[in-house]
């Protein structure tokens, strides 16, 4: 009763307008200060709340879960010797281990379009998938080893502005869910997908009921058996440590010290882009903070994520990387990058920041080659932008009409995409190239670290591959 009297006295006080005015001035001042010091504070606060709702904070705490063990090491060899594709080997290796350990997990096969739920290592459910992300698009459904970070009976997507019944978050903005519908109850067309794994409601509910937060989710495409690549005459005579690997099979055509530790270099920008498209709509706009080090970004206040990716993958602009990371904060984004690397099998990679020139970011030639293979098979969108700022997209042209790609990389025979550091840096260079064989066209990933002229070394390897 005493508290009620206090409240009544406060509300009837003639000084109330003064108190309210002072409060508004203080809040307004703090808001202006926050905006000046941290331009993306509002979106970061919103995204932090989204993280809590979507359970991504739970996913971060599970980054070191044992399901992310690496593949067995591929033995270095002089020539190709495998006839079986291992493009999904990290996921399938994890599946076999979980079965042997009699674990519960979810398996999504994007080739056969079905989901299996395992209980105690045995298949308990085998249900059809009705939709997935378009192959080659930036919203292509991400392959890898993930886990359920949230269950929500009817999630409203701020991306598609639709309700998604029986939703399970498994990676960033990607869900397993039932048939989405608009607020007026109209079902979403079968021709539309934002990249999630879509099921009929009756089946999505069965998966939802069987799932638990933290349960592993294994997403993959069936590997395709291929003939081994032919023997290649002579030797490419490359400096440094390197891996030349068949994209489809993963076989090392040539390698030297494949697991030698090295700084990451500009190939890091491809991992930054790969992580970004899992967590953010590339058509959205971000505020640009202080960017004095970037002639492109310094005069701009807001820019689309797509244009940031174009700038990052063409010119390696570190401020583009920092702006991309700012939508969640760089520390959180770096955690996402490390988790993404582990989810695809990059077991010897450690990211500390988004600066491609930083010696603190560590990897190996084998991991960089694996990243290039993953992009070629599952996120060719990133490779496309590293070669051409328009990529294969039907979007507006870049806001910068004069973005510069490396002429030396563009001149590589069969160049699909890649990145290379400056001469003399010793940092890794990477490229995916297409070659002609008796069996048809094949793609090969080249990763080289420690070369005095990285682009010249890529060119030597690419030329060597043209003459089996």
Question: Pick from 305, 300, 309, 376: which is nearest to 344 by CA?
Answer: 376
* pTM of structure: 0.83
Residue 301 scores a pLDDT above 50: yes
Give tens-digit pLDDT for 64-94: 333 333 333 333 333 333 333 334 688 999 9
Highest mean pLDDT among 4-13, 158-167, 297-306: 297-306
Give tens-digit pLDDT for 337-358: 999 999 999 999 999 999 999 9
Torsion over CA: 394, 396, 402, 405 (sign): negative
CA dist list (Å): 404 to 83, 267, 312, 316, 446: 39, 17, 11, 10, 22
In this prediction, residue 230 carries a pLDDT of 85
Percent of the chain, pLDDT > 70? Answer: 80
Vertex 372 angle, CA 424 and 399, to 5° = 80
Can you tell me the distance from the alpha carbon of 155 to that of 177, in angstroms, rounded to the nearest whole number? 9
Would you place residue 157 in the very low, low, confident or very high pLDDT band (cuts 50, 70, 90)?
confident
Question: Pick from 298, 303, 353: which is nearest to 325 by CA?
Answer: 353
Q: Indicate the range of 35-49, 187-201, 298-312, 437-451 predicted with least confidence.
A: 35-49
Give 234's contacts (C-beta < 8 A, 6+ positions apart).
464
What tokens were used for 343? 């989810």
Give tens-digit pLDDT for 49-72: 334 334 333 333 233 333 333 333
Would you place residue 12 in the very low, low, confident or very high pLDDT band (cuts 50, 70, 90)?
low
In this prediction, residue 223 carries a pLDDT of 85
Question: Pick from 138, 183, 148: which is nearest to 275 by CA?
Answer: 138
Higher pLDDT, 241 or 229: 241
In this prediction, residue 42 carries a pLDDT of 44
In this prediction, residue 66 carries a pLDDT of 33
Q: Indicate the range of 43-52, 198-207, 310-319 predicted with least confidence.
A: 43-52
257 phi and psi angles, rounded to 5 deg: 50, 55
């Amino acid at each position: 009763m005493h508290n009620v009297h206090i409240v009544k006295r406060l509300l009837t006080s003639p000084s109330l307008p003064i108190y309210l005015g002072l409060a508004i001035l203080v809040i307004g001042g703090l808001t202006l200060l926050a905006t000046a010091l941290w331009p993306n504070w509002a979106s970061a606060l919103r995204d932090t709340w989204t993280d809590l709702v979507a359970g991504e904070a739970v996913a971060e705490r599970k980054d070191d879960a044992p399901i992310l063990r690496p593949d067995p090491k591929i033995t270095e060899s002089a020539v190709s010797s495998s006839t079986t594709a291992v493009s999904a080997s990290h996921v399938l290796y994890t599946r076999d281990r979980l079965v042997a350990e009699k674990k519960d997990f979810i398996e999504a096969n994007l080739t056969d379009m079905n989901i299996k739920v395992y209980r105690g290592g045995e298949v308990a459910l085998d249900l059809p998938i009705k939709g997935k992300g378009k192959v080659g698009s930036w919203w292509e459904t991400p392959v890898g080893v993930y886990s359920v970070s949230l269950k929500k009976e009817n999630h409203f997507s701020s991306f598609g502005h639709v309700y998604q019944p029986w939703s399970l978050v498994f990676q960033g903005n990607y869900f397993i869910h039932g048939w989405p519908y608009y607020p007026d109850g109209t079902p979403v067309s079968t021709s539309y997908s934002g990249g999630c794994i879509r099921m009929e409601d009756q089946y999505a509910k069965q998966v939802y009921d069987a799932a638990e937060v933290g349960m592993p989710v294994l997403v993959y495409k069936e590997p395709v058996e291929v003939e081994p690549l032919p023997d290649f005459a002579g030797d490419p005579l490359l400096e440094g440590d390197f891996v030349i690997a068949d994209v489809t099979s993963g076989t090392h055509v040539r390698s030297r010290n494949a697991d030698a530790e090295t700084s990451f270099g500009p190939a890091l920008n491809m991992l930054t882009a790969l992580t970004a498209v899992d967590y953010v709509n590339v058509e959205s706009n971000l505020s640009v903070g202080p960017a004095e080090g970037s002639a492109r970004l310094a005069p701009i206040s807001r820019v689309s994520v797509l244009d940031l990716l174009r700038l990052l993958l063409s010119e390696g602009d570190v401020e583009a990387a920092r702006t991309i990371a700012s939508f969640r904060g760089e520390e959180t984004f770096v955690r996402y990058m490390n988790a993404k690397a582990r989810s695809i099998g990059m077991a010897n990679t450690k990211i500390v920041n988004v600066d491609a020139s930083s010696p603190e970011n560590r990897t190996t030639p084998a991991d960089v080659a694996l990243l290039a293979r993953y992009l070629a098979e599952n996120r060719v969108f990133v490779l496309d932008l590293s070669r051409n700022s328009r990529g294969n997209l039907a979007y507006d042209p870049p806001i910068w009409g004069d973005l510069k790609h490396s002429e030396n990389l563009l001149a590589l025979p069969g160049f699909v995409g890649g990145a290379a550091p400056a001469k003399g840096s010793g940092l890794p260079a990477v490229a995916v190239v297409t070659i002609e064989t008796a069996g048809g066209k094949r793609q090969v990933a080249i990763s080289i670290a420690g070369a005095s002229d990285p682009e010249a070394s890529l060119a030597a390897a690419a030329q060597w591959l043209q003459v089996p």
